[in-house]
Structures are given as C-alpha cells and as structure tokens.
Amino acid sequence: MQNRFWVVVPAAGSARRMGNAVPKQYLSVAGRTVIEWSLAPFLAHQHAAGVVVVLASQDQRWSQTALASNSKITTTIGGAERMNSVLAGLGALQERVAPDDWVLVHDAARPCLPASDLDHLLNELSDDAVGGLLAAPVVDTLKRADVNDRVAQTVPRDKLWRALTPQMFRYHILERALQSALSRGAAVTDEAQAVEALGMQPKLVAGDADNIKITLPEDLLRAERILRSRSAA
C-alpha cells in the first residue's frame, strides 16, 4: 500500500470493569504501558502520516508517558462515548486530512496487534470502495440465554466473526457514518456498525485472535504471555 493513512486512538475510557483506579491503557504489561504497545505498530509504519490520541478531559497520565513527546502524535479531548471520542479525533485531523485518506481506528487497550496484521489489513483494503476491519472467526459454540440464564438456543457460528481493531475507512465515510449515528441517537459499539447503517458492507479481514482487548484483569495476564512469547521468538 502506497497511500498514507492516519490513526485515531480513543483513550478516554475508564477502568470500571478492571476494578482499578488506573485507566487500563496506562497499566503496565511486559515492561511497557498498554497504550505504548497499542501504538507501537503504527508509529513504526512508514505510511502512517500521524496519530491522534483522544484523551479524557481529566487525564493526568498521558504527559508522563514517553509517547507524549513523539512528534507523530497529537492529542485531543474525547467525549462520553466511543463515537464521540472518535469524532473528536477526526475533528483534530480535519485540517490535515484529505476526504479520501484512510483513517484507522484502534483501541488504546488492544496491545497485541501484530505488525503483520496491520500490513495485511492495509493491503487487503487499499483499493476497497468501503473499507473494513480486522476480525477473527468465532470458534466456540454459542448459546443464547433466556431471562433465567437457561439456554434458549444454540446459535450457529457459521459466518460469525469477532470484531477486532484497527477498523479502516475513508475519512469522509467514517465522519459521515458517525455523525449520522450521533444525530439518530444510535448506540454504536464500533465504527463498522456506524458504516453498516449507511447501507455499506465493510470487509472482514482475518486477523490474529490474540489481538485481544484489555477489559478484565485476566486479559492483562494473557496479554503479558502473548507479548513476552513474541519477544522470545
């Protein structure tokens, strides 16, 4: 892929489900903070034009990281929900980005993205009319519960995928999709869902299932194992 791309990293979330006063993106794993690992593949990529990290208004930890002085990174303040933060990141890019430039949105708490998966995503979508996302096919048997947590149905897993990040769309498509969701009051959990609501079909690009998001304390232990095993390879 020869075209430049931009990166938006929403990092305004809290650590409610981690049960920790420190936001999960600032927790330490394998010798670095989670967010340092999350940003590393983009900062090392030759076609990354710039990265916007979207922070909480009360964030006092970003300035203490080594990333704060990186010339490739700018910051802005996010909102209450993910889509508010991503829109804030897009707004911070407005003066520098072309409408057809690619924007990749990546979770601040997803530290195990392999550089090879990033390249795979960029290559697969370089000429795509819509864009898409890294995803992993669902391999577990899925059960739908009733109100009493009894099995109501076994859900066929054929053609089911687990959405990962980064998610990659043209600037003008992503901005329009998120503004539309905001105006409708729609609760979208990722960027692809907002793009789907425009009647488009993002492409699923197979990625490593180890590209996990830190949500619960046990996820941090798993990420530690993954990152240390890669370093030892």
pLDDT at 25: 96
- Torsion (CA) 179, 8, 117, 167 in degrees, nearest 10: -10
Tens digit of each residue's pLDDT (9 = 90 or more) over 42-79: 999 999 999 999 999 999 999 999 999 999 999 999 99
- Which contacts (CB < 8 Å, 24+ apart) does range 93-99 have? 93/6, 93/8, 93/50, 93/52, 93/171, 96/6, 96/49, 96/50, 97/6, 97/171, 98/171, 99/170, 99/171, 99/172
Phi, psi of 206 (to 5 degrees): -60, 125
pLDDT at 13: 74
Q: Position of tokens 């002085």?
A: 69
Least confident piece of the model among 17-26, 149-158, 196-205? 17-26
CA nearest 191: which of 109, 135, 232, 147?
135
Tens digit of each residue's pLDDT (9 = 90 or more) over 82-111: 999 999 999 999 999 999 999 999 999 999
90 within 8 A of 171, measured Cβ to Cβ: yes
Percent of the chain clearing pLDDT 70 (strictly above): 96
Statement: residue 15 has pLDDT above 70? no
pLDDT at 1: 44
Tens digit of each residue's pLDDT (9 = 90 or more) over 108-127: 999 999 999 999 999 999 99
Task: Please name the residue ranges forming H helices in 72-199.
Answer: 82-93, 115-125, 171-184, 191-196
Q: How far apart are CA 114 and CA 120, in angstroms?
A: 10
The model's pTM is: 0.94
CA nearest 169: which of 208, 212, 211, 122?
122
Statement: residue 168 has pLDDT above 90? yes
Phi, psi of 172 (to 5 degrees): -70, -30
Confidence of residue 20 (pLDDT cuts 50, 70, 90): low
Averaged confidence pLDDT in the chain: 94
